[in-house]
A = this chain, B = another copy of it.
């Protein structure tokens, strides 16, 4: 790779919730630059490949599972961000339910779910990309049904509430939260089933509804 040649990569900010903490999928780099550092998973876009397809391919290679949500995040192209040459990176944000992770034989690198806080030092400008992804996810919880992307196909309202509490770092009143989310048209659809074995009254099960935006929104307390 020489100067005046531009390489395009896709990098993934892959988030999930494990044991009541937000985790991000990171890869320990086996080769320079940043050998031994943690980095976001990603790779080069193939010559005749769509950006979204490239990101989906990387997602499948690295995590091997279907995301609950998948969107383009932003593009990073500051000269010098990669010491090997001019690299433009299109970052994607994906949210997944906590599944047993079949992180299989990818590019000779160990992939792990790590808690986002405090989080290790990251290679390249990946700390900034991760921060942008976290902010995007946090903001979108308010006015989109993004929280269900962290949940399995069927889930309880308590699980949804836990997503909000973990991502926002706040406590929410269970009673009022219940009324609020069940009052948003198209957000949650009752399946008729009930949860079991949680050491309390069984909760009704829901699946994600067709809504793409929440009205009314689930608003966060914003520090003034």
Quote the shortest CB–CB distance from A212 to chain B (angstroms): 11
Chain copies in complex: 2
Size of the A side of the interface (Cβ < 8 Å), in residues, is 27
**Selected A-B contacts with CB under 8 Å, 24 pairs:** A3-B47, A3-B48, A5-B5, A6-B6, A6-B7, A6-B8, A6-B45, A8-B8, A8-B88, A45-B77, A48-B79, A49-B79, A50-B77, A50-B79, A51-B76, A51-B88, A72-B74, A72-B75, A75-B75, A75-B90, A77-B90, A88-B90, A213-B222, A215-B222
Asked if A185 is an interface residue, CB under 8 A from chain B, the answer is yes
Q: Mark A45-71, 1 if CB is under 8 A from B, else 0.
A: 101111100000000000000000000
If over half of A's interface residues share one DSSP class (helix, strand or loop), that class is named, otherwise mixed; here it is loop
Asked if A224 is an interface residue, CB under 8 A from chain B, the answer is yes
B78 touches A224 (CB 8 A): no
Q: A6-B6, A48-B79, A50-B79 are in contact. List 12 more A-B contacts (CB 8 A).
A: A3-B47, A5-B5, A6-B8, A6-B45, A8-B8, A8-B77, A8-B88, A51-B77, A75-B90, A77-B90, A88-B90, A215-B224
